[in-house]
Amino acid sequence: MLILLNKPFNVLCQFTGEPGQRTLAECLPVPGVYAAGRLDADSEGLLVLTDDGMLQKRIADPQHKLPKTYLAQVEGVPDEAALARLRAGVDLGDFVTRPCGARLVDEPAWLWPRNPPIRERKAIPTSWVELVLREGKNRQVRRMTAKVGFPTLRLIRVRIGDWSLGGLAPGEWREQAGPLPPALMAAAAPAPGRRPSASRTFARRPR
């Protein structure tokens, strides 16, 4: 089973938490699935979950080179020099990021409101940067944009490999059918005697 979820803001990327913490359990009433990779609580967007442990590890492992696409709303408007630094790799002190894609984009027309909204300062505009990474260190995008002088105010992951949000609203999910990327096919082969599940795609809103 492979599930695509639009993780809302301020939801932990796990199914259990301390009292008062929001978790994936409020969005996804499907037992036995686990996130393949993570999103910080203050990040939003695409999360892939599966009940296949080997597939989970392969999706999350950078060696399989599934590009991850993020939209970052940043404080200020990065110039070409700042974008070039992001593309070339940024020295964050404990590691240097790999080369990546980085470009200015318009605010997406499909963007949902965030609750609470981002902080805004009248004298400083905001802009959107699309970043395409093939790694995922802790708070990497936020650290990268801050390092080049443009702190991230809002972060949304919109794509992992060929999988995208595809119109999912925050908290909505769908079971994904169809072929996996070639690098992941070996992990997805059904066990002997086990028939693969039928193709189906659907979405549900959390209760």
Q: Which residues are catalytic?
A: 40
- Residue 51 to residue 31: CA distance in whole angstroms: 9
Closest CA to 103 of 125, 74, 124, 123: 74
- Residue 68 to residue 131: CA distance in whole angstroms: 8
CB 48 within 8 A of CB 62: no
Phi and psi, residue 175, nearest 5°:
-85, 130
Q: Count Cβ neighbours within 10 Å for each residue of 73-83 and write b for 16 or more, e otherwise.
A: bbbeebeeebb
- Residue 72 to residue 160: CA distance in whole angstroms: 15
Chain mean position to CA 32? 21
Phi-psi region of 105 (alpha: psi -120 to 50; beta: other; left: phi over 0): beta
